[in-house]
Amino acid sequence: MEHRDQAAQIRSGEELDVGRVRDYLGENIPGLSGELTIRQFPRGFSNLTYLLEMGGRQMVLRRPPHGTKAKSAHDMGREFKVLSALQGTYPYCPQPLAFCQDPEVLGCDFYVMERLEGVIIRKDLPQGFNLSPEQVRSLFTRLLEVQLELHSIDYEAVGLGDFGKPAGYVERQVTGWCKRYRAARTDDAPDFEAVMAWLNEHMPPDAARATIVHNDFKLDNVVVDAGDPTKIIGVLDWEMATIGDPLMDLGNTLAYWVQAEDPDERQLMRSMPSNLEGALTRREVIELYAGRTGRTIAEFDYYYCFGLFRLAVIAQQIYYRFYHGQTQDERFAALIFGVNVLEKAASQVMEQTVG
């Protein structure tokens, strides 16, 4: 049974110049030669990801999407830098191979990394993955543990002391994402003004101990072992990584965490099988994180609310490109539904603690 993500024909308008990519690879990756074939991974809503096969070797190329995007988003250099820094310290990072800033190659920055062989679990378990409730619990517990391992790394010791600005991190995040939402709002989107006001009024102080934060840590951004789906072998999509408050990182993770008792409209947005029997609830995740780290969680509803809002902004930014005809990917049309559902969910968190 094949569970691995399969690359497919490249979408119209997202083709790469095969000759220029081949020449670049041959010049910048030692020992690489021969003909190049390129296919595209059809999943994902943000950066464009391609499978490269050359000289008997498989690699992955990541580049920004076409169309309008946030100024600080899709920073290929940041992604390449953090992957390089974590080599030998965090065993879940794919090996980065080359970073290109020459616009003559593709017209944008891009980088190439090794391909990790494994399985990416998305909305539901792949066919043939029949996990018991105990195995499901082990999978989601392991997901949290891998995030905890990242948060425990001494970022200065691995050369990331200048990778972010911990002081004022929460304020910058809230201010920045509010600005991005207002810039990307379309006529059919909610205004989110009440949520943004609440986030500004209830802002917690900076974390006492800043850490590396992934900023999009979720199940479909990790790679699991094909023979043991409770074993995580890779973490992908580092484009938003920085140094900041780890509770903000966890809040972003929990925004994706749709559990069994959530309303039907949230279930429609589920992107991982966190509704299965045995899966940790959001409350269990928070308590387990607090128990392992000793960090205070009394105000965690704030971080969860921010995570929901931030996820809505990401969806709205992508929908904006579709709304204005900057992409023809029909998957993006439904994102406006998710933006409305997330606005409702964030408003509810403002009135109650995380369930």
Q: Residue with structure tokens 């390129």?
A: 38
Which residues are within 8 A (CB) of 42 and not within 5 positions of it... i.e. 6 or more apart? 7, 8, 11
| pLDDT tops 90 at residue 200 | yes
How does residue 326 score in pLDDT terms, banded at 50, 70 and 90? confident
Q: Which amino acid is at 116?
A: L
Residue carrying the six token digits 């993955």: 129
Place of tokens 């999407």: 65
pLDDT in the model for residue 300: 93
> What is the share, in percent, of the chain residues with pLDDT greater than 90?
79
Q: DSSP string spanning 171-211?
A: HHHHHHHHHHHHHH--TTS---HHHHHHHHHTPPPPPSS-E
For residue 8, the model assigns a pLDDT of 78
pLDDT of residue 71: 44
Model confidence at 351, pLDDT cuts 50, 70, 90, reads confident
The mean pLDDT of the chain is 92
Domains of the chain (ranges, CATH numbers): 18-114 (3.30.200.20), 133-349 (3.90.1200.10)
The per-residue pLDDT for 13 is 84
How far lies 308's CA from each of 13, 69, 114, 116, in Å? 31, 20, 32, 30
Rounded mean pLDDT, 236-250: 95
**With contact defined as beta carbons under 8 Å apart, do 293 and 237 qualify?**
no
pTM over 0.85: yes
257 close to 274: Cβ distance less than 8 angstroms: yes
Per 3-state DSSP, what percentage of the chain is helix, strand, and coil (rounded to 5)?
A: 40, 15, 45
- What number is the average pLDDT over the span 46-73? 80
73 phi and psi, to 5 degrees?
A: -85, 160
Centre a 10 Å sphere on the Cβ of residue 52 and count the other Cβ atoms it contains: 23
- Rounded-to-integer distance, Cα 307 and Cα 310, Å: 5
**Residue 67 pLDDT class (50, 70, 90 cuts):** low
Specify the pLDDT at position 217.
98
Q: 70: pLDDT confidence band, cut at 50, 70 and 90?
A: very low
Question: From residue 265, how far is each of 125, 270, 276, 317, 324 by CA, in Å?
Answer: 20, 9, 17, 21, 26
The answer on pLDDT for 131 being more than 60 is: yes
User: What pLDDT score does 297 carry?
Assistant: 83
